[in-house]
Amino acid sequence: MTHILVTGGAGFIGSHITAALLAADHDVSVLDSAHPAAHTEPVRVPGGVRLHRADVRDADAVRAALRGVDAVLHQAALVGLGAGPDDLPEYVGCNDLGTAVLLAAMAEAGVKRLVLASSMVVYGEGAYRCDRHGPVRPAPRAPGDLEAGRFEPPCPGCGRPLTDELVGEDAPFDPRSVYAATKVAQEHLAAIWARECGASVAALRYHNVYGPGMPRDTPYSGVAAIFRSSLAGGRAPQVFEDGRQRRDFVHVRDVAAANVSALAAGPGFRAYNIASGQPITIGEVAGALAETSGGPRPVVTGRFRLGDVRHVVASPARAAAELGFRAAVTPADGLKEFACAPLRG
């Protein structure tokens, strides 16, 4: 039996990971601050799980939580695009300072195995190809183009339309939001720590995670939960842009299984896309939820957010080859379940 500490282990993803670890006969502790962006109800953990109610930035609390621990699954983070620039200090503090405090305490305690919750947002836009110039990296979309409804990024060399492709883990970083920048920093910090301490880091780049227990409609919720909250209130889901932006939606149970698999990752730093391998458009997600719940049909608004990107579709091949992880829940089945699943209050 291995003793695993899950930071953020009482949150949406963390609680599913905690349950998966218990099912795999691990001894589990949880460190969770009950941050109001993730918790509006009392924090609970399963019986037999020790709860450290503390912020990951609290070095003394982290040291105490690491006693007797063999590995850490680091999920604690502030997620989403947030409410605005006022969120900057909290994002950087929770995500980057918190990770630095954790890594320093792990080095002191001699804990050398980390699974880091990263995100597909580190890529910015996904992978694209131009018929004339081959693989290209489009620039951030211009506000004027978005206002005019020109949502597809053009080739930066010739302005021609692009074809989106699967993005692999070796794609360059191109963060386009504060949250994305903090995730890039977390990966860099973890990679340096792994090299200096002779440790193991599996950075799991989650794609769009959804499933039972997602937080309700807040500035930090995922789009699937926002659509669900609208439908529960009898309102039509509001789909931004033209609804044709493509993503990979991966069920939270699959994400939990990936974390358990990643405990066996080899030495050094290695990143993995955690995705279903079955891309879907945002409009299709809204439509599937509306159809299953019997709610009003989605409304395509043409609205946009500057921090959003157009298409990010993952290649899950590395996780399959090296971790033995393959998503088991298809978007069709998962969204049908999610349409009626309970959310966090």
Q: Measured between alpha carbons, how far is 52 from 102 in angstroms, rounded to an integer?
A: 14
CB 2 within 8 A of CB 25: no
| Per-residue tokens: 91 | 């994002």
What does the buried/exposed string (b/e) look like for 155-193 if buried means 16 or more CB atoms within 10 Å of the residue's CB?
beeeeeebebebbebebeebbbbbbbbbbbbbbebbbeb
User: Among candidates 210, 237, 235, 234, which has minimal Cα distance to 226?
Assistant: 237
CA-closest candidate to residue 276, choices 311, 245, 316, 244:
316
* Contact in structure between 312 and 120 (CB atoms under 8 Å): yes
| Total count of residues recorded for the chain | 345
Residues that are catalytic: 179
